[in-house]
Amino acid sequence: MIVRKKVSRIFLYAILVVMALFFLMPIYVMIITSIKPLDEVSLDRMWELPSTVSFEAYRYAFERLYPNFLNTLYLVIPATILSALFGSLNGYVLSKWKFKGSDWIFTAILFGMFIPYQSILIPLIQFLQSIGLYNSIPGLILVHVVYGLPITTLIFRNFYANIPYDLIEVAKIDGAGFVGIYKHIIFPLSISGFVVVCIWQFTNIWNEFLFAVSITSTGSQPIMVALQNLSGSQIVQWNVQMAGALLAALPTLLIYILVGKYFVRGLLAGSVKG
């Protein structure tokens, strides 16, 4: 019995290790390819370690991607903060100040999270052109704040649902109103809610591609569009592409490594029932 248990334990670990290697395989290839000098990047030696380490590919990729890296930074910081603030207020109203029809309004807002963005893209571009924000970072910020409303509202609404009503009632008896309760009770209790929402929004906006590629052209393109262009052109070598992909992925990977707990919480909150 004990032997059988041991065998099945070994089997269990073997499967997990094989799966882990499969999941890490792309990262391995990205790293070893990106540090290879150009003459070693050949198809048949793809899995081999480099004989000498070269950061030439990083230098080239960084030069190419740096302006777009900045564009994404200018986009992602204000868009994340704004959409978290709106989400917090909406979540507060929709959990603690429900009014007639507010549940239907919530469902109607939530639907916006699931639509294929192709179905709003043509009018969106016409609209951005008409207000002069087409092909601009502020235009992209507006878009991400608006289409981020459903998810940020959902996460904060579920988060605030755990704050007991008694707390609100006591504050009401003490004479606090809608704004006072938010300022003195809800907002101070929101820190971990804000962390989850900000990480979620930061990651999504950083990684987003469809809006970025349709709303911007040269000059204001975010990093993911530049990365796609980098790999779309034939002249650029594989080591540069892999270095570029790693550079573009680094911020969200770092967030995942540093505050993975909150990242997973956001992931779970993204599924409607919280």
97 binding another protein? (CB under 8 A): yes
Which one of 49-57, 58-66, 185-193, 261-269 is the stretch in contact with another protein (CB under 8 A)?
261-269
**Residue type for position 258:** L
258 binding another protein? (CB under 8 A): no
User: What are 110's two structure tokens?
Assistant: 């939530």
Q: 137 or 157: whose CB is closer to another protein?
A: 157
What residues between 54 and 83 interact with another protein by CB under 8 A? none
170 binding another protein? (CB under 8 A): no
Cite the DSSP H helix spans in the chain. 2-34, 56-96, 102-111, 118-130, 137-160, 165-173, 178-181, 191-207, 210-215, 223-232, 238-258, 260-269
Q: 137 or 227: whose CB is closer to another protein?
A: 227
177 binding another protein? (CB under 8 A): yes
Instruction: Find, among 173, 170, 171, the residue nearest to 182 by Cα.
Output: 171
16 binding another protein? (CB under 8 A): yes
Please state the closest distance from residue 53 (CB atom) to another protein, in A: 20
109 binding another protein? (CB under 8 A): yes
4 class by beta-carbon count within 10 Å (0-12 exposed, 13-18 middle, 19+ buried):
exposed
- Residue located via tokens 């790293």: 31
Please state the closest distance from residue 50 (CB atom) to another protein, in A: 16
174 binding another protein? (CB under 8 A): no
Please state the closest distance from residue 194 (CB atom) to another protein, in A: 17
Q: 77 or 121: whose CB is closer to another protein?
A: 121
Asked whether the beta carbons of 99 and 183 are under 8 A apart, the reply is: no
Asked whether the beta carbons of 158 and 96 are under 8 A apart, the reply is: no
CA angle at 254 for the pair 139 and 196, rounded to the nearest 5°: 65
115 binding another protein? (CB under 8 A): yes
Q: Which of 54, 135, 231, 237 is in the footprint of another protein by CB under 8 A?
A: 231
189 binding another protein? (CB under 8 A): no
44 binding another protein? (CB under 8 A): yes
Please state the closest distance from residue 238 (CB atom) to another protein, in A: 6
User: What are 128's two structure tokens?
Assistant: 């951005």
Q: What is the largest CA-CA distance in the chain?
A: 76
Which one of 60-68, 163-171, 190-198, 207-215 is the stretch in contact with another protein (CB under 8 A)?
207-215
Dist. CA 247–CA 223, nearest whole Å? 10
